[in-house]
Chains A and B, each alone.
Chain A
Amino acid sequence: MDPMAAPDRMTHEEFLTHIAKALGRPAAPQRADGLMPDAPQVDDELVRLAGPSDNLVDLFDQRAREVGMEVRRTSAAGLRADLLALVGELKIGSAVVSLSKLDKPDDLLGALAGAGVKLLDWHGDHRMATGFVADVGITDVHHALAETGTMICTSDSAHTRAMTLAPPLHVAIVRKCDILPDLLDYFWLIKDLPAPRLPSSQVLITGPSKTADIEGVLVTGIHGPARVIILLQVD
């Protein structure tokens, strides 16, 4: 199926034959159902850098700080109060918020509204308008990685791409149960999802937005958030 085919343009089949011939074969395979049987094995022992026996909370905390994110520890019981305190400290006016993975998200949303934070409605916001005007994006995460201090934020009905990208500040709530040891473990979790069921966007966030293009001088917040504050729920 080649929707852009023009008379002088090669079809996909013709191109694949061209590639096969370059590889010394007369034609491309009839079917490509998956990986070739002799695809290299990725040996867990060789590649793994963090494992289930590591203290995942401590390791994630350390790595996240190393890449320039701020980490403040909290607990399940203290999360609400700590979030409100943070919002007060940062003098937040407006926010795009998604906390649907946490316990009692409506309670948290109510508390934020009660504290005077204007909760912008991002539903159906194709142009990211709310993301561009919000002071902060406050989100939970889909997963986190202890190996690299990474937060994994994917797009779905309750999470937009804009909330972790457009506001100058990102407050992320990472719970102990969100933290996977190693990048290997994240891809293992999703390996059986057929492609159309994958989110259109998976972002592995490992630090605030950075550049050193001008004379190697490090500047944060060039396009994405300048500050990422992680509330790390240790239980």
Chain B
Amino acid sequence: MHERAKKAVKDLQLQQFVNKATLLKDDHRKSLAPQVFGARHNDIRQLAGNIKAHTLDHLDHYLKLFIERATANGSVVHIARDGSEANEIALQIAKKEKLTLCVKSKSMVTEETLLLPALEGIGVKTIETDLGEFILQLDGDAPSHIVTPMIHKDRVAAAKAFQRQLGARYTEDPSELSMIAREYLRDKYQQADLGISGGNFLVAETGSLVLCTNEGNGRFCTSAPRVHIAFVGIEKLVPSYRHLTVMLKLLARTATAQPLTCYTHIVTGPRRADEHDGPQQVHIILVDNGRSKILADPDYRDALRCIRCGACLNACPVYRKVGGHSYGAVYSGPIGAVITPLLRERQNYKDLPNASSLCGACYEACPVKIDIPRMLIKLRRDIVSAKLTGFFERLTFRLFAASLKRPWTYRLSNWFQRKALRMLAKKDGYVRKAPGPGAGWTAERDMPAPPAQSFRDWWKKNHS
């Protein structure tokens, strides 16, 4: 991550865009929810956190309830232990139903499973319909933010991609670009036989799937084609509509400073006999893909409360500087730094928990009160215990610990540091290039050399 972050900091466009956008969204979040709830805001977040915690603590019960109720309303529920199994289920459905054209709305889980190439591999042309994802797909790029996927990309890149891939006339006006996309996609909604979506919530009591969107593509993907497949993480469950109410009251206000998203679509099974449109088949793929691992660990279970609002990303000073791609993972920002090493293998993502100053802005922003800083610290400890850190890092900390054990080791270590730093300092009294572990510090900033005499010696000489 370090390398990607260094590059990101130098990317001027990224800096301007991500910085401005996240600051704006963070301001909005800080103004709306506290304004609306006033003194109750903290308690409502606590309630939302409790609802999620309760559901997770009894996930076996609520999954069972959901499966029963969803099946009763005509949905077909599938279980996928991992990403490739989830894809396999979708591919089987596509083959069985002879599906050829798929319209897809935003789903982070399908980014985890890498669904698109799998579908295209069996000849199902798949089109992203969320405007940001559509543009990214045309341009061969990937999303960098949970809620606003092309926060890192500008109108010029979009204009070029439209001209190149769609043969559209060149325009950089966001309104005109959007209308080009709209016309193209309306055609596709009418022709598609498969719609793929994610899910913001699953309601156990009724077997419903809830999608919170603003554009309307989510509604099309779940209404126009004759087969709808939803990919949803098992942690998205809430017990009932009444509990859903609390989550809905917080989600949009926290994510985008809206009272609700433009469309909250509650899907309960396929088209009824007396209805006129809607899919003939609704399949819900419940995806595990590492979530049960997190569930099993009481230190980290709360991380599954996440409702993917993006507030922690907007609040985080690190995300603001380096952007989402620096994390090199599907989920970025503070929540990504916690769940990525846990969902996947720790050794592949051991940098991520270190990409934090532990300022706690994420914890303050989180509508379900996930104590992200505590988890980041625990992860750092886990990574050290598993000896995943480098040899020199461990040696340095061993020496540091040894030097603090006795007064004379402390004084000796200080003497050595003073001598060494003074030797390394330039004529102007600053160390510009320290060796070994010090190089990480001096790469970004200069260090003033310490004086020849330690404070203790000076005090002893002049004051005792």
Known: A19-B59, A22-B295, A47-B44. A195 touches B206 (CB 8 A): yes
Contacts of A19 in B (CB 8 A): 59-60, 63, 234, 292, 295
User: Is the pair A200, B268 in contact by a Cβ cutoff of 8 Å?
Assistant: yes
Q: Of the listed stretches B70-78, B428-436, B448-456, name the one at the interface; the rest are far from the partner chain.
A: B70-78
List, in ascending order, chain A residues with CB within 8 A of B155's CB. Answer: 214-215, 217
A183–B262 contact, CB under 8 A? no
Q: Does B299 contact A (CB under 8 A)?
A: no
Task: Determine if A120 is an interface residue (Cβ-Cβ < 8 Å).
Answer: no
**Contact B241–A191 (Cβ < 8 Å):** yes
A3 at the interface (CB under 8 A from B): yes
Q: Is B239 in contact with A39, judged by CB distance below 8 angstroms?
A: yes
Question: Known contacts A42-B245, A147-B259, A209-B216: does B296 contact A22 (CB below 8 Å)?
Answer: yes
B79 pairs with A35, CB closer than 8 A:
no
Q: Which residue of A lies closest to B186 (CB)?
A: A132
Across the interface, B60 reaches (CB within 8 A) one of A16, A203, A217, namely: A16
Query: Does A165 touch B at the CB level, under 8 Å?
Result: yes
- Complex Cα spacing A42 to B244, Å: 10
List A contacts of B71 (CB < 8 A).
1
Residue contact B150 to A187, C-beta cutoff 8 Å? no
Chain B residues contacting A4 (CB-CB under 8 Å) are 76, 78, 89, 92
**Is A184's CB under 8 angstroms from B274's CB?**
no
| Residues A187 and B241 in contact, CB atoms below 8 Å apart | yes
A214 and B158 contact, CB distance less than 8 A: yes
Over the window 250-266 of chain B, the binary record of Cβ atoms lying under 8 Å from chain A Cβ atoms (1 yes, 0 no) is 00000000111111111
Q: Does chain B have a CB within 8 A of A139?
A: no
Cα distance, A25 to B61, chains bound together (Å): 11
**CB of B289 within 8 A of chain A?**
no
On chain B, the residues within 8 Å of A106 by CB distance are: none
A187 touches B81 (CB 8 A): no
B275 lies within 8 A of A162 (CB): no
Whole-angstrom CA separation of A100 from B155 in the bound complex: 45
Chain B's nearest CB lies how many Å from the CB of A198?
A: 4
**B267 touching A10, Cβ below 8 Å:** no
Closest-by-CB residue of B relative to A49 is B36
Q: Is there an interface contact between A201 and B259, defined as CB atoms closer than 8 Å?
A: no
A147: which B residues are within 8 A, CB to CB? Answer: 259
A213 surroundings in chain B (CB, below 8 A): 130-132, 135, 148-150
Are the C-beta atoms of B265 and A32 separated by less than 8 Å? Answer: no
Closest residue of chain A to B278 (Cβ to Cβ) is A200
A28 interface hit (Cβ, 8 Å): yes
Majority secondary structure of chain A interface residues (helix, strand, loop or mixed): loop
Given contacts A32-B62, A123-B276, A214-B174, contact A195 B69 (CB under 8 A): yes
Distance in Å: Cβ of A127 to nearest Cβ of chain B = 6
B215 lies within 8 A of chain A by Cβ: yes
B47 within 8 A of A: yes
Q: Given A126-B276, A132-B186, A219-B175, does the pair A47, B47 have CB atoms closer than 8 Å?
A: yes
- The chain B residue with its CB closest to the CB of A205 is B263
Q: Are A206 and B259 in contact (CB under 8 A)?
A: yes
The answer on a CB contact under 8 Å between B276 and A183 is no
Tell me which residues across on chain B come within 8 A of A86, comparing CB atoms. Answer: none
Bound complex: CA of A221 vs CA of B176, how far in Å? 11
Tell yes or no: A224 within 8 A of B by CB.
yes
- Tell me how far the C-beta of B408 lies from the nearest C-beta in chain A, rounded to whole angstroms: 49
> In the assembled complex, which residues on chain A have CB atoms less than 8 Å from the CB atom of B92?
4
Q: Does chain A have a CB within 8 A of B371? A: no
Is B104 in the interface zone, CB < 8 Å from A?
no
The answer to whether B190 and A132 touch across the interface, beta carbons within 8 angstroms, is: yes
Q: Is the CB of A165 within 8 A of B276?
A: no
- Taking the closest CB of chain B, its distance from the CB of A215, in whole angstroms, is 6
Interface secondary structure of B, over-half rule: helix
For residue A55, CB closer than 8 A to chain B, the reply is no
CB within 8 Å of A: which of B173-187? 174-175, 177-178, 181-182, 185-186
Knowing A40-B54, A63-B259, A216-B21 touch, does A211 contact B214 (C-beta < 8 A)?
yes
Cα A200 to Cα B274 with chains together (Å): 11
Closest Cβ of chain B: how far from A123's Cβ, in Å?
Answer: 6
Q: Report yes or no: A198 in contact with B77, Cβ–Cβ below 8 A.
A: no
Is the CB of A65 closer than 8 A to any CB of chain B?
no
Please measure, in the bound complex, the distance between the C-alpha atom of A189 and the C-alpha atom of B47, giving whole angstroms. Answer: 22
Segment among B219-227, B317-325, B344-352 that sits at the interface with chain A: B219-227
For A33, A124, A165, which residue has the most chain B Cβ atoms within 10 angstroms? Answer: A165
Of the stretches A87-95, A109-117, A149-157, the one at the interface is A149-157
B55 CB → nearest A CB, Å: 8
Instruction: Report yes or no: B64 in contact with A32, Cβ–Cβ below 8 A.
Output: yes
Complex contact A46–B47 (CB within 8 A): yes
Inter-subunit contact B214/A210 (CB<8 Å) = yes
B269 and A200: CB pair below 8 A? yes
List CB contacts (< 8 Å) of A43-86 with chain B.
Answer: 43, 46-47, 49, 63, 66-67
Interface status of B111 (Cβ within 8 A of chain A): no
Contacts of B137 in A (CB 8 A): none
The smallest C-beta distance from B108 to any residue of chain A, in angstroms, reads 16
Any A CB within 8 A of the CB of B40: yes
Q: Which A-B residue pairs are the 4 nearest by beta carbons?
A: A224-B216, A223-B216, A213-B132, A22-B296
In the complex, 30 of the A-B residue pairs with CB atoms within 8 angstroms, ordered by the A residue number, are A1-B71, A4-B76, A15-B81, A22-B296, A23-B296, A25-B60, A28-B61, A35-B205, A43-B47, A49-B249, A122-B276, A147-B259, A150-B260, A161-B223, A161-B277, A187-B242, A195-B72, A195-B205, A198-B206, A199-B268, A200-B275, A200-B282, A201-B223, A204-B265, A205-B263, A207-B258, A208-B262, A221-B178, A223-B186, A224-B215
Beyond A12-B79, A22-B295, A29-B61, list 4 extra A-B contacts (CB 8 Å): A28-B60, A191-B240, A200-B278, A210-B215
